[in-house]
Structure 1
Amino acid sequence: MDIYKCKHCDEAWDKIFEGTACEEAGCACEDMTQLEEKTADFKNEKHVPFVEKSENGIKVIVGKAALHPMVTDHWITMIEVIDGSMVYRKYLNPGDAPEAEFPIHNVNVKAREYCNKHGLWANQ
C-alpha cells in the first residue's frame, strides 16, 4: 500500500500495480516519488493518527493533544486503517473533523493519514 507523489502534477497516488495509467492524465510515471511514513510529530504540528475504541468499532483521530487544522489550504485529505489484508479509507474535506470511524474491533491496526502540506503520517 505504497503512496506516491507526482512531481509533475503534485497529486498523491496509490500505486496498486506497475503500469503507465497516469500517462493518460498527462503525468510522467518516472516523476513519482514514494512517500515515507512519518511517525513522530515535528514542531508540535499534531499529525500522528491515534486509534481508540468506539461504540461501533474504532475511531482514528489526527492529533491527540490538539486536533489537526482542517482549513482550505491545510487539511487531512484521507485517513486509512490497514488491518491485515484489509484497507479501510475515509476521504475528508476542509471543514470536516480530522477523524474517521471504521467497523473494526481490533485497536492494534496501522493507521495512516495524508496531510496536503506535510505528507504521509502513521501511528507505527
Structure 2
Amino acid sequence: MAKNLGVYRCSDCGYMLEVVEMGKAQLKCSGSSYALTCSKADAQVVCCGKAMELLEPNTVEASTEKHLPVAEFAETGEVVVKVGSAAHPMTPEHYIQWVAVVAGNRVQRVHFEAGQAAEAAFCACKETEVDVYAYCNLHGLWKATVKK
C-alpha cells in the first residue's frame, strides 16, 4: 500500500519540503478534571516567519489545461508517466516542476525545467498500484492512482 506524500510549500518564497513520516497528532492536556484544557499538539513547519502550507493534491481535472498525471505500466516493470492527456505547457512562466511516484515504501522523483517534456519512467518493481504526483508551478499538486 502506497503512502501519501506530505509536501509543504512556503507561500512567500516557494520553498518546498517533503515530510518523511507525518506522525500522529497528539492531545496535550493540562489542569484538573474540573478545569481540564486540551489542545491538539501538531508539528508546525515554518518558513519566512510563518507556517508553511501542507499541499492537498487535486485529483479531478477542472480546467482546459491538463495537470493530472497519466501513467501506465510497461511490460518492463516500469511506470511511464506523462502529465496531462495533452502535453502540459513547459514555459518559464508555467511548467511542471516535478513528478513523483510512490510505489510501496519507495518515493521516486524527477525534476524538470522549462522547455523539457514532463515525461519520465520509474521502476515499479512488483507493485500493482502506484500513486503518481505532479507539481505545476502555477496550479499546485496533482495526484492520480494507477493500477496494473
Shorter chain as denominator, the TM-score bin is 0.7 to 0.9
Task: Normalising by structure 1, report the TM-score.
Answer: 0.83
Aligned partners of 1:52 and 1:107 also within 8 Å: no
**CA-to-partner distance for each residue in 1:67-101, whole Å, 9 max, x for gaps?**
11111110000000001111011011111111111
Count of aligned pairs: 118
Rounded Cα–Cα distance in structure 1 between residues aligned with 2:72 and 2:137: 24
**Aligned partner letter, 2:6:** D
Residue number among 114, 121, 131 corresponding to 1:101 in the alignment: 121
Matched residue, 2:14: 10
What is the root-mean-square deviation in Å for CA atoms of aligned residues?
Answer: 2.1
Matched residue, 2:64: 44
Q: In percent, how many aligned pairs have the same letter?
A: 34
Gaps of 5+ in 2: 22-42
Kindly report which structure 2 residues correspond to 1:1-124, keeping only aligned pairs within 5 A, or say none: 1-16=5-20, 27-28=48-49, 30-54=50-74, 56=76, 57-64=78-85, 66-105=86-125, 106=127, 108-124=129-145
Task: Normalising by structure 2, report the TM-score.
Answer: 0.70
The structure having more radius of gyration, on CA atoms, is: 2
Between structures 1 and 2, the one with greater strand share? 2
**CA-to-partner distance for each residue in 1:16-75, whole Å, 9 max, x for gaps?**
46687x76xxx33x42011110011122210000111336411011011x1111111100
Gaps of 5+ in 1: none
Runs of 4+ in 1 over 6 A off after TM superposition: none
